[in-house]
Amino acid sequence: MIIVPAIGDDVLKRHADPSVIRYAIFSRDLLRRYLLFHSFVTAPERIAAAVMLNPSTADEMKNDPTVERVERRFQRLGFDAYFILNLFAFRATDPDFLSLAKNPIGENNDWYIMQTVQRPEVELVLCGWGMHGERAGRDEDVFKHILAPHANKVRSLGVTSWGHPRHPLYVSYKTEPTPFILRHSIPRRRQHGYRSGKSEA
């Protein structure tokens, strides 16, 4: 089951066990993960998506701690499949490493986010990128141009004192998703200069 396909030179990798419905899409050099999809049933009826900061170690075969927690949360909410997306596609275990990458956003990242959230079967889009999402105004770009048109299904697990959507790794399962709007009036603390996802290869 491929709901969102790979484009261009991007690489789609499936789980080694054909009975497991799980795949991930990477850049050709595997330095960026654009999308992760996992379904617990053959024909999912309820699909959710999470938009977080950047990928860590999760791939087509395994979860990392953040994806594991998001997966459990979506299951508790009654979803039988989910997508994982990120503001920045560059794979790193520390968000500070994003400033060292030539193209942390990823050339096709916006396309994958858009193709996922606009699908009618995706009924919830959970934002959870935390404070680092404001780097170079990336959170504003994605929210305004991609997420806002689908505001009826955009949610968060609460916001920080600066108005950033809270990272799901640190939020209790008892917390329910609530409507989320990025507050542009909040003072921005931009210190990094990577805005475009098409700057370098």
pLDDT of residue 121: 96
0.85 exceeded by pTM = yes
Q: What is the three-class DSSP state of 131?
A: helix
Residue pair 126/50 in contact by the 8 Å Cβ criterion: yes
197: Cβ contacts below 8 Å, ≥ 6 apart: 89, 103, 105, 106, 107, 108, 109, 110
Query: Percent helix, strand and coil across the chain, each rounded to 5?
Result: 25, 20, 50
Residue 91 structure tokens: 């794979």
Token output for 79: 């979803």
Three-point CA angle 128, 130, 131, nearest 5°: 155
Question: One digit per residue, pLDDT tens: the chain, 201 residues?
Answer: 889 999 999 999 999 999 999 999 999 999 999 999 999 999 999 999 999 999 999 999 999 999 999 999 999 999 999 999 999 999 999 999 999 999 999 999 999 999 999 999 999 999 999 999 999 899 999 999 999 999 999 999 999 999 999 999 989 999 999 999 998 544 555 444 444 443 222
Query: Is residue 176 classed exposed, middle or buried when 0-12, 13-18 and 19+ CB atoms within 10 A define those classes?
Result: exposed
pLDDT on residue 1: 84
Tell me the HSE value of 133 on the side-chain side, using a 13 A CA sphere.
26
pLDDT score recorded for residue 197:
41
* Per-residue confidence (pLDDT) for residue 135, from 0 to 100: 92
What's the CA gap between 8 and 79, in Å, rounded?
Answer: 30
| Spatial distance between the Cα atoms of 89 and 111, rounded to a whole number of angstroms | 12
